[in-house]
Amino acid sequence: MEKSLTEGITSYNNVGAVKIADEVVAIIAGLAASEVKGVAGMSGGFVGDISEFVGKKNPSKGVKVEVGEKEAAVDVYVIVDFGVRIPEVANEIQRNVKNSIEKMTGLDVVEVNIHIQGVVFPDEEKMEEQIRVK
């Protein structure tokens, strides 16, 4: 995926041009992935970047997009919660990302690749508290 995130797509109509930057597509994908239950955070995709979680500051972090004139391919790098069924979470991320991008941009999403970069374990204190409460 070598395309720059600033190139974007342009469509023309009888009134003028509409430009959608690749960064916008990446933000849509990042927000859609973050909405899925079981996703603890996003990862930049590099081993040293695994522990860096993304808040709402940069929703495109952990997402790489390749956008053509009518199609898009997306790579999403996520960290999941311990105990979730990873294939189910990955499938839900794929569905949510594909639907969100297609609905908002009109692009045909040809692939959504999910890269599981890590697992977040619950805090020991929270686990002890839950055990005491039961």
* pTM, rounded to two decimals: 0.77
In a domain, 34, yes or no: yes
More confident residue, 61 or 133: 61
In a domain, 84, yes or no: yes
CATH number of the domain where residue 126 is located: 3.30.70.1350
Give the pLDDT confidence of 40-84 residue by residue, as tens digits: 999 874 443 443 444 446 778 899 999 988 999 999 999 999 999
Cα 54 to Cα 24, 42, 57, 63, 96, distances in angstroms? 17, 6, 7, 11, 18
Angle between helices 22-34 and 86-105 (to 10 degrees): 140
Residue 130: band (very low, low, confident or very high) from pLDDT cuts 50, 70, 90 = low
In a domain, 3, yes or no: no
More confident residue, 121 or 45: 121
pLDDT at 89: 98
Count of domains observed in the chain = 1
Mean pLDDT of the chain: 82
> What does the DSSP assignment read for 7-20?
--EEEE-SS-EEEE
Rounded-to-integer distance, Cα 50 and Cα 45, Å: 7
In a domain, 2, yes or no: no
Its domain, for residue 15, covers 9-133
